[in-house]
Structure 1
Amino acid sequence: MSTVQAIRGTRDILPEEVKYWQQVEAVSREVLGRAAYQEIRTPTFEQTELFERGVGEATDIVSKEMYTFRDRGDRSLTLRPEGTAGVVRAYIEHHLHAQGGVQRLWYLGPMFRYERPQAGRQRQFHQVGVEVLGSADPRADAEVIAIASDLLTELGLKNLRLEFNSIGDQSDRQQYREALIHYLTPHKADLDADSQDRLTRNPLRILDSKDQKTQTILQDAPSILDFLSPDSQRRFEQVQQLLADLNIPFNINSRLVRGLDYYTHTVFEIQSDDLGSQATVCAGGRYDGLVSELGGPETSAVGWASGLERLILLLQQLQPPHPANLDFYLVSRGDRAEAQSMKLAQILRRLGFSVELDLSGSAFGKQFKRADRSGAIACLILGDAEAESETVQLKWLASGEQESLPQAELLTQAETLRHKLDALK
């Protein structure tokens, strides 16, 4: 009989990798909490219309990559391909805008896109993201970039660079769109197939093409920066100055446009030199028209999302795997000793110690080998003699030092033990 395997584009996150995920999650909560961002959790699937209107029907995400299905009520539903549209839907539905002031929100969870799986890119993937709703101030743009920088720095990531651009407002972008179509149309036959398809539907996405021949054609293409209105140019310069004041270096990249229709003005990516072709670890920008597009009031907004899979790849390069940070590994043999060990393990856990209880019933030698591999600081040993006298052998695994203690004394000396364990971690 054949075995059942994980679906292509999904993967299991095994225990030795989970600690990296927990590290990213913990640092995210800490950094975002310090900046007064509040967590929001939205459903994993939404009405398909939300993404068609919010992300844009002409985008690759909507036209090629969404997991869409009909439910038993014949409603078209889609597994969320990104987080912003769902957060904005919740913002409108629950009248968060009526609370006044700026809403600083963040989310973390799985997203779904039908893409070709590769390192750092899966069909089920995970993002942490932030959304600032209700502020048109350029400081909001600088703040979200600064927070992204803080998060990546606190994770210990290196070799990062900020790519930064402005795509102006809707009027600026429409003028640029027409100029780009005018420039590219004579070259249509020489563009790659995807770019030919995008030429009239979504020409700005051609700037993202990885095809070398298309990139050669684009070398002399007009720049979006030449089409910014005076107001858009002034905003762009203000954000640049704020980033400079925060000592955040950046590179102005006029080809950076982002792949979603809802972006306006500021767009940015933070890229890593350690990830090869899949270099982007965080990306976002301003989207002042999305809330009204989805039926809410005119609301300025800016945000970003970061893919956890790519962050994990970078962390694994920086931090080689290491054993679990375990206080005690408890070995026992014999009916009475095994019963006492179960009780002792539970008491120690309730006192706040981490304890792994060997349940194998195998010979002491095999249990001791597992204790050495466990990463525990100390080993607790219960055999027939210890069970009879209600004592326990305490062995410090690094030094090999061993002593016999009454089980009751082990518990009454909990604070002393904790200090010694902390000193050895």
Structure 2
Amino acid sequence: MLALKAEKISKQYRLGQVGTGTLSHDLNRFWHQIRGKEDPYLKIGEANDRTSKGTSDYVWSLRDINFEIEQGDAVGIIGRNGAGKSTLLKLLSKVTKPTTGKIYTNGRIASLLEVGTGFHPEMTGRENIFLNGAILGMTRKEIKRKFDEIVDFSGVERYIDTPVKRYSSGMYVRLAFAVAAHLESEILIVDEVLAVGDADFQKKCLGKMGDVSRGEGRTVLFVSHNIAAVKNLCQKGILLKDGNLITQGAIEKVINTYDLEFISKDKNFKIEYPVQPELDMQLLHAELHKPSSHNRLFTNNVLNFEFTIDVRIPVPNSYITIDVKDKNDELIYWTSDYTTERFIKNEKGIFKVQCIFPQYLLSSGFYYITFAIYSPSSNKISHHQPEFKISFEIEEHEDSFLQKFGIVRPGKIGIESSWKSESLL
């Protein structure tokens, strides 16, 4: 049975101040309507690319989106910022109407698009639970039956009779998620709410959404930039780019397409940092030396990193630190030069420093690397610009673990341990 269906839905927005300088557009649109002509402003417009300046006052946040979602499906909607994910959820939640196309829904929808969606700040947590239930079309008796479970899940029992305007953002989102997940809607729509909560709450939310989908047979739509969370929760996925639907289907297929479409194009082997003369010490240059002329790296390659450091005022006990993160932004390896002779701390000058990762340290996958200069004795970070990253992909080589044993090596660290055995008989 279908829970949601979208037929050629599009959403167009006008840039600038709404209601200012639009009289000519309104008259032009009206003139076309009375003549039975197509709206002229639906023909123009550009993709919603935030990185470039356009020539039109209109942009398409979504364009000709088609999909069907079965009852009980957990669907992850992924894509970069500006892809149209939140706009799509607003259309499905009926917060706004599509410019063109139709949306068919089967059942009540509970949505959590922003922290405290549907909450009245002057009302208490208790009153807002009943308000949200009423908005969903539930009776007071139905809400009462779920009330204790909602409060227990949210962990804000002590403040349940306090106006929610006095809640912290964490308390707000805990209660808002608890209400959306526990009230008896057939479709649950969640947009990046987990970014606000702590790690324990995020885990609790993912577990609840899994129960809602698999255990209760309700439909879940989940937007997140945490690909690991999407993969863990969802069986199906939708990938958006610049307002267009790139692919849909099994979540593994969608994530692989996302990797190929975006991440694999992000390979960057060199960083040139902007000069910041106010810093005592700073990185000027960082580079991963490629073992060959092409951009491909293999698990049996030695990774050679080289840095240029400007020491203007030596900071005692300074270390270069390296963070290695995977495509899900999870830290999987950290290293520092603290075990080596640190010549850069005692004198001014510009120095070259090298760091070598041995063969098989990292298994196949895509990685981001950031660098910093840190002094633990003074608890001072001399230089850290996490937006500057070296990024690369590692592939299995022809004599790989896969070739030897017929399976892809699990985990992110690929370096071998030393094993030995002896007979005890």
Q: Please, what TM-score do these two structures have when normalized by structure 1?
A: 0.23
Greater per-residue helix proportion: 1
Q: Please, what TM-score do these two structures have when normalized by structure 2?
A: 0.23
